[in-house]
Amino acid sequence: MIRAGLAPALFFAGNLKNVVLQYLPTGGFMTTIRYCFISFFLCISLIGCTPGEEPGEAPVAADDGRIDLIIKGDHIVSMDATGAIIEDGAIAVDEGVILAIGKAADIEAEYSAINTLNGDNRVVMPGLVNAHTHAAMTLLRGVADDLALMEWLQNYIFPAEVEFVDAEFVRIGTELACWEMIRGGTTTFVDMYYYPDTIAEVIDSCGLRALISSTVIDQRSPDAEGADDSITKGIGFIERWQGRNSRITPIFGPHANYTLDADQLQATRAAAQKYGAPISIHVSESQFEVQNSQNLYGMTSIEMLESIDFFDGPTIAAHVIWPTEQEIPILAERKVGVVHNPTSNMKLASGIAPIAEMLDAGVRVGLGTDGAASNNDLDMWEEMRLAAFLQKIGLMNPEALPATAVLRMATSGGAEAIGLGDEIGSLEVGKRADVIQVAFDDVHHIPTFDLVSHLVYVSDEQDVASVVVDGKVLMQDGDVLTIDTARVRSEATELASRIQAALAARNQE
Ligand SMILES: [Zn+2]
């Protein structure tokens, strides 16, 4: 993995190399010399700037001088701080890292690649960051709809989970979710569910990037007997997976401040601090939660969490629909990553999160689908569109949350909110190569006056053509390459029919 410290080194090496290459002729023998220069500067960057880095982790070119991948596009929407869009562009990728980004003609003159993704009618952009989901809940899609959060959770979801969820359920459900997310251009997600080792194994093999929460909850759950047991099991999970795969970040997932008491929340934070692990938690999702917190602690949810120093460490807070005016500055100051889940919030009628207000206050805000049982899919394009529309209608202001702000939430803003802003979220030299190509072939893209407007208000998951994570192609021209589609489809269908039969039998009792 490329450590944060390597990024500037690569950037420096890339710039220096470009300066040198300007003065070198091209072709034949000189091409070989050019590659020597590339390798030389990359080596310098490693030796000089990252002591202790494993040599095997360095982004060096293949033996024959070819790099791994060139990704081309009619337009490259970088989502960098300047909002740069490159026409007729290309990205050079090797060892999972973006080596260079620029005009396709320049990139192809400079690099030769083992694999090239062609860019005709393709818009290249960073992969989408689904910052809050419960992936395996794809298998509970449609099991209970049209209910309010607390009734839905306590009378349907929690009992169904205790009855049906085991490691096999999680494996199949997570694979199904990963297939759907790859298909839709999601390259990173933050998961919170049970049997995290199984989730990690699925991520390891399918090639996505994920922060995987070991769920902590003070009730009998599918994989633990209560809060203490789930914290102990979470520690085991962190110890097994920390540093094992650079695409997988094991974290703690305390469910919420109405399913854990103050001591249990503090104990979870203490364990997270010990291992330097982030935390993902539901915060201020419903008026019930806020009122419950008020009744129990005399404080609203965020005030309560702040009062027990819960934000002393990286925190990803899902929903945050009902923050008070006093609480929003706490989120900004404590660098809490807020995750907006517009579809779930609308479906459960939980409320409209004050996203525009939080962004204005400097809060880091990303976007997520929530689980497929409250959405009912994992389509980030739909989340983008609904995020914009929900703010506009909520504030009765069409200027609220424009397309550019939403696209940021789904890419660079989301990456920042989950603590990966230095590694992913934008297409820049030195960052990990998490890249998607969106096809602009469909008639619904004609005409194209404004690319960003189309990406947010027109494009959907069916338009995603290719998906690259960490430099590896997971989907090419619509074909998911890292998951056996037929197997997952049949396993999920078979398991779902068993759940359906058990539910039908129970309803007849
Ligand atoms: Zn959730």
Query: How confident is the model over 204-263, as pLDDT tens digits?
Result: 999 999 999 999 999 999 999 999 999 999 999 999 999 999 999 999 999 999 999 999
Whether 41 has a pLDDT exceeding 80, the answer reads no
373 CA distance to ligand 1 middle (Å): 10
Residue 339's pLDDT is what?
98
Read off the pLDDT of residues 142-196 as tens digits, 9 standing for 90 and up: 888 888 888 888 888 888 888 899 999 999 999 999 999 999 999 999 999 999 9
Q: How confident is the model at residue 62 (pLDDT cuts 50, 70, 90)?
A: low
Residues in contact with 147: Cβ distance below 8 Å, sequence separation at least 6, in sequence order: 155, 156, 348
301 CA distance to ligand 1 middle (Å): 16
Residue 160's pLDDT is what?
84
318 CA distance to ligand 1 middle (Å): 7
Q: How far are the Cα atoms of 61, 82, 382, 441, 458 from residue 462, in angstroms, in the given order? A: 34, 29, 11, 11, 11
Q: How far are the Cα atoms of 144, 154, 290 from residue 285, in angstroms, in the given order? A: 19, 15, 8
369 CA distance to ligand 1 middle (Å): 9
Residue 31's pLDDT is what?
36
121 CA distance to ligand 1 middle (Å): 36
57 CA distance to ligand 1 middle (Å): 35
Whether 3 has a pLDDT exceeding 90, the answer reads no
Greater model confidence, 46 or 215: 215
Q: Which of 417, 352, 350 is nearest to 129 (CA)?
A: 417
Residue with tokens 């909520």: 394
132 CA distance to ligand 1 middle (Å): 6
297 CA distance to ligand 1 middle (Å): 23
375 CA distance to ligand 1 middle (Å): 10
Residue 48's pLDDT is what?
32
235 CA distance to ligand 1 middle (Å): 21
Predicted model pTM: 0.88
319 CA distance to ligand 1 middle (Å): 8
137 CA distance to ligand 1 middle (Å): 10
In this structure, which long-range contacts are made by residues 149-158, counting pairs with CB atoms below 8 Å and at least 24 apart in sequence? Answer: 149/285, 149/286, 149/288, 149/348, 149/350, 150/286, 150/288, 152/348, 152/374, 157/373, 158/219
213 CA distance to ligand 1 middle (Å): 11
The mean pLDDT value for 110-139 works out to: 98
